[in-house]
Amino acid sequence: MVRETSLSPAHLIAPLFITDGTQATQPIQSMPGISRVSADRVVEVAQDLAELGIQSVILFGVPDQDRKDPSGKESYSPNGAVQRAIRAIKTSGSQLVVITDVCMCEYTSHGHCGILDDNHFLQNDETLEALRRIAVSHAEAGADIVAPSGMIDGAVGAIRDALDTSGHQSVGILAYAVKYASAFYGPFREAAGGAPSFGDRRTHQLDPANRGIAMREAQLDVDEGADFLMVKPALAYLDIVSAVHEAHPGVPLVAYNVSGEYAMVKAAAAAGWVDEQGIVIESLTSMRRAGADLIITYHAADAARWLKD
């Protein structure tokens, strides 16, 4: 009767990994229960999620190795796996809100989130041009919301301009505004095949020790036109979720309960050391309590099932 925080399937966004090929379902070893699927299988998966009361999915592309090159141009191909998956969901008549990850790391042969120069420095402004093309290709396929995840400076403003000048004014932007350089992304890099082949992402993702830069990054993205803000990872950063929520009242805030957080719970539960359902519902509730309106989580389907029972 006096509970302050609610948690329902409508608060959860389910991530989906989309591969090339057809009739493919590839289980991901470090993320038990999660598989990559080909675009022709995505409608079935989407339907199951919708029946559980989930209202939104976020799509990540996992292209075949031979489609990758240093420019990452497969990321904006109109016939890429993500573009085909968006079209499949939308033409099926599904009411799901389709969000897409906008980044180059799964598409570049070196695994970095943008264009590199000869000395392996990430070229921020050259990368913006590619991000504009990716966002427009997703919007043309029918995406409702695009989500730039590479921490490239100016991405939100550049994408807003590209969408507006190509007739996609109504497509929204979910900014991965506050993304830390985190060890919690380990399993995702196996899932999406996007690990950097040399170096790391500490020049553009945030230092886990810092809060001030998080607040400035969130403000910049709001000023550039973000419709949603995200903090990532979630559990180890709930103080940041809370601070961003308080600094930007009224801007929908998303917490990303990332792959490493998922893998730890699954491993401990498989060993019989923790109560999976208890841990998951408690963790998701704490993210909501900290100020997240929405949560991207690999537990989405299980949690929705538990919340319905």
Binding mask 194-233 for ligand PBG (x = CB under 6 A): x------x--------------------------------
Please select the residue that binds ligand PBG; options are 103, 159, 177, 295, rule is CB under 6 A. 103
Note whether 254 binds ligand PBG by CB under 6 A: no
Of 81, 139, 258, 294, the residue at the interface with ligand PBG (CB under 6 A) is: 258
* Burial label, 95 (beta-carbon count in 10 A; 0-12, 13-18, 19+): exposed
Q: Binding string, 146-175, against ligand PBG, x = CB under 6 A?
A: ---x--------------------------
Q: Which listed range, 46-54, 118-126, 130-138, 183-191, lies at the site for ligand PBG (CB under 6 A)?
A: 183-191
Q: According to CB under 6 A, which one of 100, 259, 283, 297 is a site residue for ligand PBG?
A: 259
Closest CA to 244 of 283, 217, 207: 217
Q: How far apart are alpha carbons 17 and 255 in whole angstroms? A: 19
Q: Do strands 35-38 and 25-27 pair parallel, antiparallel, or not at all (unpaired)?
A: antiparallel
- Alpha carbon dihedral 157, 158, 161, 163, in 10-degree steps, equals -110
| DSSP codes joined into one string, 288-304 | HHHT-SEEEETTHHHHH
User: What is the spatial distance between Cα 107 and Cα 118, in angstroms, rounded to a whole number?
Assistant: 19
Round to whole Å and give the CA distance between 70 and 78: 19
Catalytic residue of the set 73, 90, 179, 308? 179
Rounded to the nearest whole angstrom, what is the least distance from the CB of residue 224 to ligand PBG in the complex? 19
Q: Does 101 bind ligand PBG (CB under 6 A)?
A: yes
Each residue 2-41 as x (binds ligand PBG by CB under 6 A) or -, in order, gives ----------------------------------------
What is the CA angle 90-157-166, rounded to 5?
A: 45
- 179 among known catalytic residues: yes
- Inter-axis angle of helices 212-224 and 238-247, to 10 degrees? 40
Kindly list the residues in this chain that would bind ligand PBG in the complex (CB under 6 A). 101, 103, 105, 149, 185, 188-189, 194, 201, 258-259
Where in the sequence numbering do the catalytic residues fall?
Answer: 179, 232
